[in-house]
Chain A
Amino acid sequence: MKRLAVAHPIPTAVVGWFARIGRAYRITLEHAGALGMLTWDSFVAVVRLRVRFRDVLTQTHIMGIQSLPIVFVTASLAGIVTSQQGGYQLISSSPRYVLGTLVVQSVVLELGPLLTAIVLVGRIGARITAELGTMVVSEQIDAFKSLGRDPVAILAAPRIIAGLITMPLLVGFADVVGIYAGMLMADLDGGLGKETFFYGARLFWHSWDLFYGFSKAVVFGFVIPVISVHMGLRTKGGAEGVGLQTTQAVMFMILTILIIDALFPPLMLQ
């Protein structure tokens, strides 16, 4: 057979580069579509009252109550470190009460929602993906379907509702703990009294900041269960598949949270 001559063959590296871009684009669209479908199906399950209150309560307990100790530790340390580093930087340049502003603003706007979300990715997101992934590979999801039960109503929707409920509450808890820890450290470290600390905090306080922080909490509280359920339900293979999928889910969640976090200031702080 006569071979066709190519005048200017495209270098393999360029073809490979475009192929990789195409593949990444396709995978992104696949995930986006599946996430959209999962969200819609969960919404329909809630509207049709197919979600059991007991399941929501169980998930709320797991995500909320059981997460309190780790959120407490994380928020305390965030408040303490912010107070110490802020004190060190401001000591000779600004009035001491500004430390109150710095700690409260940092915790409410950024550290409270973000660190709580990261903690929940590790504690809850990974758990959900591994749990559902194991159910997939052991055919338990198929069993639900074969019995005429909707896995979205039983497994996905309660977790998403629980995430939306618990995340703002946990962030509120983290804010209070972080601010008090920061205030105590300011007192111990720099002798800044409670009144001075809160004077500084009130001086630059906007109620909008609280709304901003809780908006982040709601979005993160939605993103973590949705992605972890989505990734869990896409698990393939055996134990290795579950491990791989859990790792990918954690990376996916953290990256998504950081991107959303970066989008918040231009959208809500202008």
Chain B
Amino acid sequence: MIRYIDVHKAFDIPVLSGVDMTVETGEMFALFGPSGTGKSVLLKTTLALIVPDRGDVHVDGISVHHGPPGSLEQVRRKIGYVFQHAALFDSLNVFDNVSMGLPESEIARMSRADTARRVWEALEIVNLEPREILAKLPSELSGGMKKRVGIARAIVGRPEILLWDEPTTGLDPVNTAAVERLIKRLSGELEVTSLVVTHDVEGGLLMCDRVAMLSGGTLRFCGTPEEFRNCPDPVVRAFVDRAAAEAALDMATT
């Protein structure tokens, strides 16, 4: 379970102004919101990649920002993070990139063959042909392949929680649908808790058990996809209905 408790963060201007949110164990949770509302910032506070000005995040009861020494490492071992643009290490080939997802302590105990097997399995799970790409550098991969390698790196360590930062951004519709199917399948097969930050409202509503929406630095909505679709809040409506979104945009710009 992930609990965000009164999370505040400002970069020159306030981005998060007291966010309280809970993601239950085993559920798929989507977080929506317009650009610049702090969705990725909130996601990054889960792993202390960004430190909040106030508040805390608890992962399975462990405090990320105010815990005793070693608690952050404990939390990071539980979580796999899929970055928006994959964030593959340029100088490493696919094998080394994916194997970086294995905890150091585990690698030390594993034989080279075991490591290779785990990497191979992770790449197969994300529908990549390991034989063809293991030796390739990130610069030799397409956008969709990079994304999948990034996902393989996040799942190879068998995390309990997966955080997805805009997993479909920059992908064409075919790849978007494929990645969404993959997220859904992985969450089921690996029985992980998933928190997906996305702009793709329809995809998020179809995939997830619960959804939330950030707006103006606070949580505007949190509930089931059905409740989200029927929510009377005009800002939420704007997200559900493209026409309403355009109307809201017109209102905002006039």
Contact = CB atoms under 8 A, between A and B. Distances in A.
B77 A138 contact: no
Contacts of A143: 81, 83, 87-89
B101 interface: yes
Nearest to B77: A148
Nearest to B11: A236
Given A139-B84, A140-B89, A145-B49, 20 more contacts: A134-B90, A135-B90, A139-B83, A139-B87, A140-B87, A140-B88, A142-B44, A143-B81, A143-B83, A143-B87, A143-B88, A145-B48, A145-B76, A146-B47, A146-B49, A146-B79, A146-B83, A148-B76, A148-B77, A148-B103
Majority DSSP secondary structure for residues of A touching B:
helix
A140 B85 CA distance: 10
A210 to B, nearest CB: 38
A148 B77 CA distance: 7
A149 B100 CA distance: 9
A140 B86 CA distance: 9
Interface magnitude class on chain B: 20 to 34
A269 interface: no
27 contacts: A134-B90, A135-B90, A138-B85, A138-B87, A138-B90, A139-B83, A139-B85, A139-B87, A140-B87, A140-B88, A142-B87, A143-B87, A143-B88, A145-B47, A145-B48, A145-B76, A146-B47, A146-B76, A146-B79, A147-B76, A147-B101, A147-B153, A147-B157, A148-B73, A148-B77, A148-B103, A148-B104
Contacts of A135: 90
A149 B104 contact: yes
Contacts of B81: 143, 146
B119 to A, nearest CB: 14
Interface of B: 44, 47-49, 73, 76-77, 79, 81, 83-85, 87-90, 100-101, 103-104, 153, 157
A212 B218 CA distance: 60
Interface residues of A, number: 12
A258 B153 CA distance: 45
A139 B48 CA distance: 14
B76 A142 contact: no
A109 to B, nearest CB: 39
Contacts of B49: 142, 145-146
Nearest to B50: A142
B97 to A, nearest CB: 9
Interface string A137-158: 0111011011111000000000
Question: Which 7 A-B residue pairings sit nearest by Cβ, starting from the closest?
Answer: A139-B87, A143-B87, A146-B81, A148-B76, A142-B49, A139-B83, A146-B47
Interface in A111-150: 134-135, 138-140, 142-143, 145-149
Contacts of B44: 142
Nearest to B101: A147
Contacts of B73: 148
A241 B100 CA distance: 27
A147 B100 contact: yes
Instruction: Name the residue in B73, B84, B87 with the highest tally of chain A Cβ atoms < 10 Å from its Cβ.
Output: B87
Contacts of B90: 134-135, 138, 140
Contacts of B76: 145-148
A185 to B, nearest CB: 42
A188 B98 CA distance: 60
A142 B101 CA distance: 13
